[in-house]
Amino acid sequence: MANNRRLEWLLAQPVTERQAMLAKLSQAERSEFRQHWRLWARPDQLPPEGDWRAWLVMAGRGFGKTRMGAEWVREVVSADPDARIALVGASLAEARSVMVEGESGILASCPARRRPKFEPSLRRLSWPNGAQATLYSAAEADSLRGPQHSHAWCDEIAKWDNSSGRAEQAWNNLLLGLRLGERPQALATTTPRAVPLLQRLLNEDDTVVTRGRTEDNRANLPSRFLRDMRRTFGHSALARQELDGELLTDCEGALWTRALIEAVRESEPGADAVRTVIGVDPPISAHGDACGIVVVELGADRIARVRADCTIHRASPEKWARAVADTAAKWRPDRVVAEANQGGAMVESVLRAADIALPIRLVHASVGKSARAEPVAALYEAGRVRHVGAFPALEDQLCGLIAGGGYQGPGRSPDRADAAVWALTELMLSQRAAPRVLDL
């Protein structure tokens, strides 16, 4: 009898008989029963059949990916006392806090008598039967050069640092060391993003893919969470990615591609800032589009860096002006650049009312959004712009701007993208040259 059918049979028994059967179990057996993963797991949470090298679980948040990874490690350990497992996170801190010590991590998933000993200083888990696991950071790709493993669990691979191809380098080093045992295997769990490593795995013949949505795990999630997430994000591009587990592809003719944005991402600024500009795209009304507010810095290396997206939704003039003033107080910009096509002098007066000291420059759009964005997209292509961290909503809008005119979403208007374009134009394409010392 299949495990799920056995569970259904047990739950179908009268309460008194069910309690009597459970009462015959010892405390250890009852604890073991509750942690019998194959009895409780959904079919899409169990390892695939067949001879596979990589199992990619690409699903929305709350699907149960972390629990799947922890339980797969448990199964590997139970079957192979000689197992040597690599636990690879975006950082060591995340590997420890999520994969090992998290609510759905390895320690929480193991019954007390089979729980491994965790030695943080050695980054090592040791099970009573002799199996071991070691923690690694994907940001330190060279740490995976040399160690040998029989299995690996790699968590949130779409979050791994993609600058200078670091994520793929970490994966390559892991594969080169995955040579212990008869059937080395790697599990990769992630919420999808169109990064090079994820697209590579999807195109490899020996990768088995499991896809899923947040709602698939509704039995273990608060109904209010599911309702609120759908109410907030609907079926936007962000919801399709983060809730539905959909890998978003590029629009034909888009000025920005997701691969381009990933190629210019860095985890920390590569140089000190010498100028800071806040771009503002004011809404037409309080009930219409958002007010785009994006912070961009120019580094001493002459590279512009997007540092923050402080966009505010459905705000009155007073509220969005206050949001701009608060952003300025935090980032201390040299200039606030605001589009004034809608409202003209009113835009400046509203901003002045929020903070009289704001260094404001009003700009007027003489060409369409896409035409205005094309020179900025060229800066990305030339490697002169970086994103410090991830800005999903802003990046979705950039990828919706089409060469030659047009916007294909998400939303009606690319307010965040407009704000970023204004700020980057001021920093990088303004005719006012930065002062230089001439050699005579």
Domain membership of residue 125 (yes or no) is: yes
The model's pLDDT over 196-244, given as tens digits with 9 standing for 90+, comes to 899 899 999 889 999 999 999 888 888 888 888 888 777 666 778 888 8
Strand partners, 273: 299
Residues 156 and 303 placed together within one structural domain of the fold: no
Q: Using alpha carbons, select from 379, 369, 364 the residue that is nearest to residue 405.
A: 369
Check: pTM over 0.85? Answer yes or no.
no
Q: Which residue segment(s) compose the domain that 269 sits in? A: 258-429
| End position of a domain, from candidates 207, 239, 271 | 239
Residues 228 and 329 placed together within one structural domain of the fold: no
Strand partners, 118: 125
Number of domains in the chain: 2
Q: Which of 94-108, 185-199, 246-260, 314-328 has the lowest mean pLDDT?
A: 246-260
Residues 278 and 405 placed together within one structural domain of the fold: yes
Domain membership of residue 391 (yes or no) is: yes
Place of tokens 């292509």: 381
DSSP 8-state symbol, 96: I
What is the percent of the chain where pLDDT is above 70?
A: 88
Q: What is the mean pLDDT of residues 358-386?
A: 86
Domain membership of residue 394 (yes or no) is: yes
CATH number at residue 192: 3.40.50.300
pLDDT the model gives residue 21: 72
Domain membership of residue 280 (yes or no) is: yes
Residues 163 and 302 placed together within one structural domain of the fold: no
- Spatial strand order of the sheet with 265-266 comes to 265-266, 385-388, 304-309, 292-299, 273-281, 335-339, 360-363
Q: Using alpha carbons, select from 297, 230, 228 the residue that is nearest to residue 266.
A: 297
Domain membership of residue 14 (yes or no) is: no
Best mean pLDDT range from 145-154, 197-206, 321-330: 145-154
Domain membership of residue 106 (yes or no) is: yes
Residues 139 and 268 placed together within one structural domain of the fold: no
Residues 231 and 308 placed together within one structural domain of the fold: no
Residues 389 and 318 placed together within one structural domain of the fold: yes
CATH number at residue 381: 3.30.420.280
d(CA 295, CA 328): 9
Query: Token digits for 248?
Result: 């978003």
The model's pLDDT over 71-96, given as tens digits with 9 standing for 90+, comes to 999 999 999 999 999 999 999 999 99
Domain membership of residue 17 (yes or no) is: no
Residue 190 near residue 158, CB atoms below 8 Å:
yes
pLDDT the model gives residue 5: 62
Residues 182 and 269 placed together within one structural domain of the fold: no
Residues 380 and 297 placed together within one structural domain of the fold: yes
